[in-house]
Amino acid sequence: MAIVVKRPKLKWWEQLYIPGIISGMRVTLGHFFKIVSGRKKVTMQYPEEKWDESLPEHYRGAPALVKDEQDRERCVACQLCEFICPPRAITIKPEEIPSDDKWAKVEKRPKAFDIDMIRCIYCGLCEEVCPEQAIYLRKDYAITGTSRAEMVHDKKKLYEIGGVRVGLVNKWNELK
């Protein structure tokens, strides 16, 4: 059904445009002076001012591996995250834990664990899927590098970002 749009009938002074221009300029100049006088602040001067303190709890930054309270790497190299990762950012090379190792009963650990941060889309699916709570998205967001190789986080770097996380997974603890 066609709708006839009613055009408002303008008064003669409205048709002059000049009052319209003046009231428009009142709006823009209002914004201008508020910003210039510093009464209103909207933008953050990024490298000098950061919003790190106000990052929300659920912020999804760079994914990282964590160790548990006994300094064991939590990752058991099940490769679930490698498979679920939508842009295939994760590459894992698993290896067997030698039988004389303290954690031999865990059987498997990653030999190499690379996350290509150019590919990662910070979706958090790796964290979601991990059965061992071994991979977490941290609050680091300024991931930069001057080459592609530099943008690949290897195992060492991932543990460096991740650090230690306690609790939640206890099945490999000696007590049990």
- Give the binding site for ligand SF4 (CB under 6 A): 63, 75-81, 85-87, 89-90, 92, 115, 120-126, 129-130, 132, 134-135
**What is the DSSP code (8-state) at residue 105?**
G
Residue 78: name its binding partner from another protein, ligand SF4, none (Cβ under 5 to 8 Å by kind).
ligand SF4
Residue length, the chain?
A: 176
What radius of gyration do the chain's Cα atoms show?
28
CB of 37 to another protein, least distance (A): 10
Residue 80: name its binding partner from another protein, ligand SF4, none (Cβ under 5 to 8 Å by kind).
ligand SF4
Q: What is the largest CA-CA distance in the chain?
A: 95
Q: Determine the distance from the C-alpha atom of residue 150 to the mean position of all C-alpha atoms in its chain, rounded to a whole number.
A: 18
> Is the Cβ of residue 2 or residue 27 nearer to another protein in the bound state?
27
Q: Which residues have C-beta within 8 Å of that of residue 52, sequence separation ≥ 6?
A: 139
> Is the Cβ of residue 39 or residue 171 nearer to ligand SF4 in the bound state?
171
Encoded tokens for 173: 């603890």
For binding to another protein (CB under 8 A), which residues are involved? 18, 21, 24-25, 27-29, 31-32, 35-36, 40, 42-43, 45
> Is the Cβ of residue 42 or residue 149 nearer to another protein in the bound state?
42
For tokens 């602040």, name the residue: 41
